[in-house]
Chain A
Amino acid sequence: MMGPLVAIIGRDIKLAIRDGAGLGTALGFYMLVVTMLPLGLGPDMKLLSRIAPGMLWIALLLAALLSMSRLFEADQDDGSIELLATGTLPLEVIVAAKAFAHWVTTALPLAVATPVLGLLLNLDLQANGPLLLTMLAGTPAISFLGAIGAALTLKARRGGLLIALLVLPLYIPTLIFGISAISAVLLDTGAFAPSILILSAISLISIVLAPIAAAAALRAQLG
């Protein structure tokens, strides 16, 4: 079981690096949205500082969603999905492996770029560490829940927007607890630990349950 698992994770990471379009688009989108915010809202440093964590989280969610539609579509288009379906790995594990590779190649770089973009929004420097921590804890849920949307819209033309409609509501808990963890640090309410624990729990639940849902959706469309 380990051999094929390592093979598919390695392949997807390699493809993402060689291709570059997925991460490039997501990072570019993330940076542009964050850059436009101060232009749109005006140079009110206090305001920017207050809304920075929320804006960064929302921009990151949308940026990560951009590349989600290609998660299974690329394999569907070139026929690789038939190869994947005849392996010894259950489809659930394949979905999990692909979502993990997406997290490593897209969500993780976005999270790591956040402190730099935080400067543009006058984010309190002491919030950088906790913000990065909440993003590391919360982004697995983005990749794994996104896989459900990607699987459901596999054969839909222009599935990208449909994915956003299907998946964004599922991201709400992640967003709420991500923001509440940061607010706890900025306002010093001491509620950081509970929020980040719930955030981690959401990610862990997504990692377990989302592949089952996505694999069921894929199976229905394989025929």
Chain B
Amino acid sequence: MQDIVVERGGRPVIDGLSFTVSAGEALTVKGPNGAGKTTLMRAIAGFIAPTTGSISLNVADSGNADDPTVAERAHVIGHLNGVKATLTVEENLAFARAFLATDRRSIGSGHTGAKRADAPRSTLTDPVYIALDRLGLGALAAIPAGLLSAGQKRRLCLARLLVTYRPLWLLDEPTVSLDIASTKLVADLIDEHVANGGLAMIVTHVPLGLSSTRELVIGQPIETPQVAP
């Protein structure tokens, strides 16, 4: 991440920010409301093009134009859950799995759980059910997602992280509306992902209790972003 400047409405929100996150590291992004945390996440995901500077994911690429982009190597969890109310819990997650599935080998390091989407299905080995069980939604698999509570919808959204492997996790306030036990679970998932050589960037206002994390504080003062070791 080199010297990026991101503008929103002609006003620089992020001005000259540089930092590096290495494999096996979790970076917690903090800052007051409006500091540009979400903007930063969206810029990394490629939704907003930075005005200057570059964002790159340093993996062994073939150098072809065919290489996956940062967005294709990332799970992006934003403020909204991306859960369809009329689909069942299981259908929602099965769609995310089928849609995000990648058949490219060079997706990144730590290639662990990614199986092919057309592997034989049974509730015991199906990654969709494994992910649902992990997030405590196994018993709710067959009900329409619109009937879930806010916290359950958030957990369904987070279950996406487990159904396909992507090295970079960009989580924007992942624990909104989650209870204490679920918040702990999210921290465990991030810890596991990072321990397997993944990368995670988490915007959060509450301490997650991650086993190891660096902190990036942005905004106030905007000129000198501090990266605490």
Q: Interface on A for B, CB 8 Å cutoff? A: 1, 3-4, 6-8, 11, 14-15, 18-19, 77-89, 222-223
Give B34-50 as 1s and 0s: 1 = Cβ < 8 Å from A's Cβ atoms: 00000000100111110
A86 and B76 contact, CB distance less than 8 A: yes
Asked if A78 meets B99 with Cβ closer than 8 Å, knowing A14-B91, A88-B104, the reply is no
Query: Which of chain A's residues have a CB closer than 8 A to the CB of B42?
Result: 223
Query: Which of chain B's residues have a CB closer than 8 A to the CB of A6?
Result: 98
Per the bound structure, the CA–CA distance linking A37 and B59 in Å amounts to 65
**Complex partner residue of B87 from A4, A18, A84, CB under 8 angstroms:** A18
Per the bound structure, the CA–CA distance linking A1 and B87 in Å amounts to 23
B82 and A82 contact, CB distance less than 8 A: yes
Per the bound structure, the CA–CA distance linking A78 and B87 in Å amounts to 13
Q: Is B78 an interface position by the 8 A CB rule?
A: yes
In the complex, residue of chain B having the shortest beta-carbon distance to the beta carbon of A79: B80
B100 and A87 contact, CB distance less than 8 A: yes
Per the bound structure, the CA–CA distance linking A24 and B80 in Å amounts to 28
Query: Which of chain B's residues have a CB closer than 8 A to the CB of A8?
Result: 95, 99
Give B212-227 as 1s and 0s: 1 = Cβ < 8 Å from A's Cβ atoms: 0000000000000000
**Complex partner residue of B80 from A78, A87, A222, CB under 8 angstroms:** A78
A15 and B84 contact, CB distance less than 8 A: yes
Query: Which of chain B's residues have a CB closer than 8 A to the CB of A85?
Result: 45-47, 71, 76
Query: Which of chain B's residues have a CB closer than 8 A to the CB of A78?
Result: 80-85
Give B86 Cβ to nearest chain A Cβ, in Å.
Answer: 4
Give B153 Cβ to nearest chain A Cβ, in Å.
Answer: 10
Query: Which of chain A's residues have a CB closer than 8 A to the CB of B205?
Result: none
Query: Which of chain A's residues have a CB closer than 8 A to the CB of B84?
Result: 11, 15, 78, 80
Per the bound structure, the CA–CA distance linking A21 and B69 in Å amounts to 37
A86 and B82 contact, CB distance less than 8 A: no
B80 and A3 contact, CB distance less than 8 A: no
**Complex partner residue of A82 from B80, B85, B95, B102, CB under 8 angstroms:** B80
Per the bound structure, the CA–CA distance linking A86 and B167 in Å amounts to 13
Query: Which of chain B's residues have a CB closer than 8 A to the CB of A11?
Result: 84, 87, 91, 95, 99
Contact residues of B between 69 and 122, Cβ < 8 Å to A: 71-72, 74-76, 78-87, 91, 95-96, 98-104, 117-118
Asked if A83 meets B79 with Cβ closer than 8 Å, knowing A3-B117, A223-B48, the reply is no
